Amino acid sequence: MKKVIILGYLLLSMGYGIEYSLRIKALGPDFAYLIPDYETDLYQFPNLYNRDNRFIGIVPKDQFSIKLTTSRFGLLSQFWGESRISLYPRVFKYYRLTLNDLWLWDARKLLPSFMNDVWNITNDLYWDKAQYNGFDCTQNSIHYLFGIPASDNIGKYFDFYGFVVTGFHSDQFQNNEIKNDRLLLIVSGKLGISYRNSWADNDFISGYLEIGGPVTNTEIDDLGWSFMSEKVPDNSVFLSYFLNTFNSKIGLARAVPITSQSFFAFGIRNQLRYQRMMEQDNFYLLTDIRNISSLPLAIEYQINAISIRLGADFTCSALKRMSQFHDVYILNNSNLQLGWATSCGLGWRISPKFNVDFYQYGISLGYGFNICLKYIF
């Protein structure tokens, strides 16, 4: 297999996580782990680690990222900071630093058979600080998750995978009169099984099913009810398993050839999230149910040295939030939303050793623009 060095990325938007390649972003993020893509699949299926596929990547702007794999070692890392200052209607300052990474070590043929595997860990960390009311009030938060992803082949077409995380959310509020500290300890994880049957690179059928709890800070922050605010009392330590949340995801995709190197892909994906907990002050029963269904479509069309990538995603989201005291509903909201999103990209093989990948979210140039330079040797 050819060895690839990614010389650099120019990133002008926040984009998705470190695990999504520009190719998958262009075809649509709902095709992640459905359309075969080594750089993306490696994050969830470390057993696919290939010593002959070595690359290094750098994102020098906004989100500084490094992606590196050697014959035994791999690192996918992303780091960025942001700040905001507002003078009206009140003085407000906000700072945030974020670090996400995946470390891999290929221990195959180095250790005894029962330890013969690709060892890997993840770190998901962000720190933020807010100052307001003339800077007399300060709030500091540290959110950290340590994860261990694992996967193994259980047949010709199936892979089993899991992800265990543990960590904490720490929150401190202080002004001239009071100081409150809260600490949430987290244990969570997920399990899944994937299926992939490829007759060719452009002719395959794939799917996956997974269940579990939130395993990233992004998923925790996206919960309908803030576990830190509603569940953890001031000046206390609280332990939560799976954050009282159940997630299930299922995806299916089929790719059919257009030409010998091109394909059209269509799929279906559904995500269900159920959160239920007791509010710590007034003992309200809080429930949040969210179901998101999507129909992704994608085309990757090869014209000589150029690959044209187009993606479209049609979604239907149903949300229900309830706050209940005994049999009395304090809050009972439901809504249904329909939406769609588009993306596009381009892969250009300028020479046998030099490629350019381009990605654009939506149809208007500017926001969501990425470009990647690749050197092959």
Quote the pLDDT of residue 218: 87
**Nearest by Cα to 145 from 129, 122, 117, 178:** 122
Alpha-carbon distance of 327 to 37, in angstroms, equals 50
Alpha-carbon distance of 350 to 347, in angstroms, equals 9
- Mean pLDDT of the region 363-368: 61
Quote the pLDDT of residue 91: 66
Q: Which residues pair with residue 178 across a beta bridge?
A: none
Contacts with 261 (C-beta within 8 Å, 6 or more apart), sequence order: 201, 202, 302
pLDDT tens sequence across 261-295: 899 999 999 999 999 988 877 778 889 999 999 99
* Least confident segment among 13-22, 146-155, 273-282, 300-309: 13-22
Indicate left, alpha or beta for 76 from its phi (over 0: left) and psi (-120 to 50: alpha).
Answer: beta
Average pLDDT of the chain, as a whole number:
82
Tell me: pLDDT of 126 over 80.
yes
Quote the pLDDT of residue 363: 65
What's the domain range around 345?
Answer: 4-376
Quote the pLDDT of residue 110: 73
Which SS3 state, helix, strand or coil, does residue 55 take?
Answer: strand
Total domains present in the chain = 1
- Mean pLDDT of the region 161-173: 91
Give the distance from CA 249 to its chain's centroid: 14
Quote the pLDDT of residue 134: 60
Q: Which two tokens stand for residue 15?
A: 């984009």
Q: Which residue has the higher pLDDT, 377 or 164?
A: 164
Tell me: pLDDT of 78 over 80.
no
**Nearest by Cα to 42 from 73, 11, 65:** 73
Count other Cβ atoms within 10 Å, centred on residue 277: 19
Quote the pLDDT of residue 12: 28
Quote the pLDDT of residue 2: 38
Cβ–Cβ < 8 Å for 333, 321: yes
Q: Is the sign of the CA dihedral 352, 50, 38, 35 positive or negative?
A: positive
**Nearest by Cα to 183 from 244, 217, 231, 222:** 231
114 falls in which pLDDT band (50, 70, 90)? low
Alpha-carbon distance of 104 to 118, in angstroms, equals 7
60 falls in which pLDDT band (50, 70, 90)? low
**Nearest by Cα to 171 from 137, 140, 214, 200:** 140
Alpha-carbon distance of 133 to 112, in angstroms, equals 60
Q: Which residues pair with residue 90 across a beta bridge?
A: none
pLDDT tens sequence across 212-251: 999 998 899 889 888 887 778 777 888 999 999 999 999 9
Contacts with 140 (C-beta within 8 Å, 6 or more apart), sequence order: 127, 128, 129, 171, 172
Range among 78-82, 87-91, 114-118, 152-156 with highest mean pLDDT value: 152-156
Quote the pLDDT of residue 245: 94
Percent of the chain with pLDDT over 70: 85
Quote the pLDDT of residue 161: 92
Quote the pLDDT of residue 294: 96
Tell me: pLDDT of 49 over 70.
yes
Quote the pLDDT of residue 31: 94
Q: Is the peptide bond before 89 cis (omega within 30 degrees of 0)?
A: yes
Strands 179-200 and 236-241, by their bridges, are parallel
Q: Which two tokens stand for residue 134?
A: 């003339």
Percent of the chain with pLDDT over 90: 34
Tell me: pLDDT of 6 over 60.
no
Percent helix, strand and coil across the chain, each rounded to 5? 10, 65, 25
Quote the pLDDT of residue 3: 38
pLDDT tens sequence across 62-75: 566 777 777 778 77
Give kind and range of the element (H or E) at residue 343. Answer: strand 328-351
- Mean pLDDT of the region 176-196: 89
Q: What is the pTM of this model?
A: 0.82
Tell me: pLDDT of 365 over 70.
no
* Least confident segment among 266-270, 319-323, 336-340: 319-323
